[in-house]
Amino acid sequence: MIGVLTLYESTIGKKVVMAVTGLILFGFVIIHMLGNLKVFAGRAYINAYGVFLREVGSPMFGHEQVLWLTRIVLLVSVGLHIWAAYQLTRLDLASRPVQYAMRKNQEYGYAARTLRWGGVIIALFIVYHLLHFTTGTVHPRFVEGDVYNNVVIGFQNPLVSIFYIVAQLALALHLYHGAWSMFQTLGLNNSNNKRIWRGLATVSSTMLALGNISIPLAVMLGLLR
């Protein structure tokens, strides 16, 4: 336990926390995007998927038990991810009270800055998204259990759709830079395999953005109604 705590206190320990929680959240957004795409299969399909999410694990687990376990893992991961990011930012600022005239590693400085700002946009998006599609608090015509209705009506407001699209672009950039940062932490980013990792980071973040953006776009184009 002491060993784990000492590791966390170090910069590398915090970066490992960022990498592990980032990977968990990355897995979630990929699975969530694949689930969201079921909206193209029709109302019955996506609504049945919504029921499945609540009943998954039955009869071993009760109604919403697995869903709540997943929510707890996600919440803890988001909390640790933000906490470690905050700590790393503080350490970074404290170690450099006066700005360099010329940054030694331009690329790293750019990635770190985009990661921080992207993270703030994504955090705001998640709060709005939960109030929109999970609780329905900010949704004009929310119907509990009718995921199709909630998604299509929700995206009929162009401002909402544009906000979602911007957030997906911010998320894609965040994942791209986050993956790059993680490869550095784990020492995978040597010159031999750098291109492979970059390729993987580019393909996965682009697919995620395209998959998610296709939904508000399809509603705005009248393809989903």
Q: Applying CB under 6 A, does 77 fall inside the site for ligand HEM?
A: no
Listing DSSP states for 98-113 in one string gives S--SS-S-HHHHHHHH
Q: Identify the DSSP state of 140.
A: T
Distance CA 49, CA 35 (A): 8
As to burial, measured by CB atoms within 10 angstroms (0-12 exposed, 13-18 middle, 19+ buried), residue 182 is buried
Q: Applying CB under 6 A, does 78 fall inside the site for ligand HEM?
A: no
**H helix or E strand, kind and range, residue 58:** none
Among 126, 138, 153, 169, binds ligand HEM (CB under 6 A): 126
Q: Which of 164, 142, 158 is nearest to 212 (CA)?
A: 164
Distance CA 18, CA 20 (A): 6
Among 12, 27, 32, 223, binds ligand HEM (CB under 6 A): 32
Q: Applying CB under 6 A, does 163 fall inside the site for ligand HEM?
A: no
Q: Applying CB under 6 A, does 212 fall inside the site for ligand HEM?
A: yes
Tokens of 139: 């949704």
| Cβ–Cβ < 8 Å for 77, 21 | yes
Q: Applying CB under 6 A, does 151 fall inside the site for ligand HEM?
A: yes
| Cβ–Cβ < 8 Å for 119, 83 | no
State the amino acid at position 214 in one-letter form: S
* Per-residue binding letters, 50-69, with ligand HEM (x by CB under 6 A): x--x----------------
State the minimum distance, in angstroms, from the CB of residue 214 to ligand HEM: 8
* Segment contacting ligand HEM by CB under 6 A, of 4-12, 98-106, 146-154, 182-190: 146-154
Which residues ranging from 171 to 190 are in contact with ligand HEM (CB under 6 A)? 171
Among 71, 96, 103, 141, binds ligand HEM (CB under 6 A): 71
Residue (130 or 143) nearer to ligand HEM, CB: 130
Q: Which residues bind ligand HEM (CB under 6 A)?
A: 29, 32, 36, 50, 53, 71, 74, 122, 126, 129-130, 133-134, 147, 150-151, 164, 171, 212, 215-216
